Amino acid sequence: MRVAYLGPAGTFGEEAAIRFAPEAERLPFPSHAAVAAAVESGMADLGVVAIENSINGSVAETLDILIHETELRIQAELVLPIVHNLVVKPATNADMVKVIYSHPQALGQCRKFIERCFPKAQLEAALSTTEAVQLALRRDNDGAAIATARAAELYGAEVLARGIQDAANNVTRFLVLGHKTPPPTGRDRTSIAFTFAEDQPGALAGVLNEFAKHGVNCTKIESRPTREAFGEYVFLIDFEGHKDEPEMAALLEQVATHCATLKVFGSYPRWQ
Amino acid sequence: MRVAYLGPAGTFGEEAAIRFAPEAERLPFPSHAAVAAAVESGMADLGVVAIENSINGSVAETLDILIHETELRIQAELVLPIVHNLVVKPATNADMVKVIYSHPQALGQCRKFIERCFPKAQLEAALSTTEAVQLALRRDNDGAAIATARAAELYGAEVLARGIQDAANNVTRFLVLGHKTPPPTGRDRTSIAFTFAEDQPGALAGVLNEFAKHGVNCTKIESRPTREAFGEYVFLIDFEGHKDEPEMAALLEQVATHCATLKVFGSYPRWQ
């Protein structure tokens, strides 16, 4: 099996791919859109994409791929803790560090640690946490990177400090995209997107009432601007249940009567 | 009047501050949280923060500040087009460009332009579009930056190509935070956040039914993970109307009966 992910190796995307299918061949791609295209074209069997982080919110690129660009199905989800580490060239001590490299998002998620422990360090942006390790290694023992432990291992760097992220509960939810829908397990989640014909004050309430009538729990609701006009939205809902269960199929039919468009991204076992 | 914004000068945050109050003194701060703190502490009278981009979605940091960290009120909104430019040191021609600097988000928003016009260029991350201009200027006429026209002007660089963003309708919505709520104008928007006591399948439908009953249009709905547990959410709604109009005040009272917590971020004139 071949699993596509957002590379390069050593980033959290690879960690999710390893966690999902440890034995699979892993193929890094430069964007989430490329991951989806790799699966659609047969270059990979499955693709792992980030959908939501507890600190940063939804990954808009992935939502837009699901809404507009792909007919792939969500087959599984994973929720992984995001652990940032301070990574250095071997023989670098904390008091030697003058420059800290990372992706701006990782630098932002470790701001308190940096302010406390390295108040004078110069912060430098990198395109990924893995590139940050490479940039730090090019310096003469005065550079550090914020990156995964695996990136340190891959490039012969050392972890100087572990778990330096400001928020204790920093987790990312990943989706596995493929061509199939797994059968119901009794503990599933379904993800859908829908639009309304025009701006109707009661339209969204109408949809949510269908869920309420069936006693179905919506685990997430969100709106994304349509690509056509700012202020017009696609609505996204995750709910507990599987589209192939008879009651859920009936619910989805009733939801569809309220909507101009309705797309089911997939039904898949909930992460435990 | 002093207006705080997410700096440095030359970024879109400054553009929004200039647009909102051209004559005001402008104070750059390093994060949206710092902008809010500047206003709360009296260092600035108003603060401009980004809340939503048509390509990237909501700015989670700003949502979390409004939900958890500040009692400031939203006083106004602005919706500005995001125009990216290729900025170079004077006397640099397109065929000399080998390296392109920018914030990873700006690089991502100009991917098609770069692939078409500079397929061999090396991409380098910067902490802001303004820093990208400074990095490009340090090179010997083989560097470029993706940045605002104002950043080019501020640092003595030149715009080589204008409007290079992939999406034609790339706009960002900014909010102005302050201590007051402006009076109703008849064309206002109100932003609220609320939570439920526990996971109730019909709770959100109950809230939306109140809006539907009053014929009030929700212009945006969103959920953010609470900081306590992944899978528990704060819901955010924008709707048309002003909290000080009697019917809207009655609506908010009814909404409150469904919720464990309800916070009104403010009522403010809608951007035209």
pLDDT in tens, B14-52: 999 999 999 999 999 988 999 999 999 999 999 999 998
| 3-state SS class at B195 | strand
Distance from CA of A30 to the nearest CA of B (A): 11
Residues ≥6 apart with Cβ < 8 Å to B213: none
Report the alpha-carbon distance of residue B107 to residue B97 in Å, rounded: 15
| 3-state SS class at A128 | coil
Contact A223 B224 (CB under 8 A): no
Edge-first strand order for the sheet with B158-161 is B122-125, B99-102, B143-147, B85-88, B158-161
pLDDT, one tens digit per residue, over A12-67 is 999 999 999 999 999 999 889 999 999 999 999 999 999 988 887 888 889 999 99
Report the alpha-carbon distance of residue A201 to residue A102 in Å, rounded: 44
Distance of CA A17 to the CA centre of its chain: 12
Edge-first strand order for the sheet with B261-269 is B218-225, B233-240, B188-195, B261-269
CA proximity to A59, closest of A68, A49, A67, A69: A49
For A255, B103, B143, B146, B240, the CA distances from A60, given in Å and listed in that order, are: 24, 17, 30, 21, 25
Model-level pTM greater than 0.90?
A: no
ipTM of the complex: 0.81
Tokens in use for B213? 């009953």
To test the contact with chain B by mutation, choose from A222, A224, A239, A270 the residue with the greatest count of B C-beta atoms within 10 A, namely: A222
Strand ranges in chain B using DSSP code E only, listed in sequence order = 2-6, 25-29, 46-53, 57-58, 73-81, 85-88, 99-102, 122-125, 143-147, 158-161, 171-178, 188-195, 218-225, 233-240, 261-269
Domains in chain B, please, with CATH?
A: 2-82+170-178 (3.40.190.10), 85-161 (3.40.190.10), 188-269 (3.30.70.260)
pLDDT, one tens digit per residue, over B44-76 is 999 999 998 888 788 888 999 999 999 999 999
B131 touches A at CB < 8 Å: yes
pLDDT, one tens digit per residue, over B80-132 is 999 999 999 999 999 999 999 999 889 988 988 999 999 999 999 999 999 99
Task: Report angle CA B60, B65, B69 to the nearest 5 degrees.
Answer: 150
B161 touches A at CB < 8 Å: no
pLDDT, one tens digit per residue, over A185-223 is 999 999 999 999 876 778 888 999 999 999 998 888 888
Report the alpha-carbon distance of residue B80 to residue A242 in Å, rounded: 41
Report the alpha-carbon distance of residue A187 to residue A269 in Å, rounded: 6
Task: Report angle CA A101, A82, A118 to the nearest 5 degrees.
Answer: 35
Report the alpha-carbon distance of residue B114 to residue B120 in Å, rounded: 9
Is 80 exceeded by the pLDDT of residue A265?
Answer: yes
pLDDT of residue A67: 95
CB-CB neighbors (< 8 A) of A56 in chain B: 60
Contact A57 B56 (CB under 8 A): no
pLDDT of residue A231: 64
- The answer to whether residue A172 is catalytic is yes
Contact B262, B243 (CB under 8 A): no
Contact A155, A240 (CB under 8 A): no
Report the alpha-carbon distance of residue A117 to residue A216 in Å, rounded: 48
Query: What sign results for the dihedral spanned by CA atoms B162, B167, B168, B169?
Result: negative
Residue B81: burial class (beta carbons within 10 Å; 0-12, 13-18, 19+)? middle
Tokens in use for A171? 């987790």
- The answer to whether residue B174 is catalytic is yes
pLDDT, one tens digit per residue, over A174-189 is 999 999 999 999 999 9
Contact A156, A121 (CB under 8 A): no
